[in-house]
Amino acid sequence: MNIYVGNLPYTISEDELSKIFSEYGAVNAVKIITDKYSGRSKGFGFVEMLNDEEGQKAIDETNDTDIKGRNVKVNVAREKKTDDENTPN
């Protein structure tokens, strides 16, 4: 299950985010999105969990909670749309 985590503190590391979500189950990958020019966090990222039930529990338990002073938004990540899907026929 791919999970979107928004409103992250800019100082959180991928390791720290992984530790938070690993309390709920096996974490396969963590990616914090950064600005390609400055390298600074954009304040959101994705956590991929191996088990959907554990992923849902992580969403339920961490959504609207405080991480380092920020109230994070956590939900199932939507699939990224390709340019073809956005182009009218």
- The ranges assigned to domains in the chain are 2-77
What tens digit of pLDDT does each residue of 7-60 get?
999 999 999 999 999 999 999 999 999 999 999 999 999 999 999 999 999 999
CA atoms within 13 A on the CB side of 69: 4
User: Using CA atoms, how far apart are residues 57 and 55, in angstroms rounded to an integer?
Assistant: 5
Sheet arrangement for strand 41-49 = 27-34, 41-49, 2-6, 73-76
Model confidence at 80, in pLDDT bands (50, 70, 90)? confident
Instruction: Identify the CATH homologous superfamily for domain 2-77.
Output: RRM (RNA recognition motif) domain (3.30.70.330)
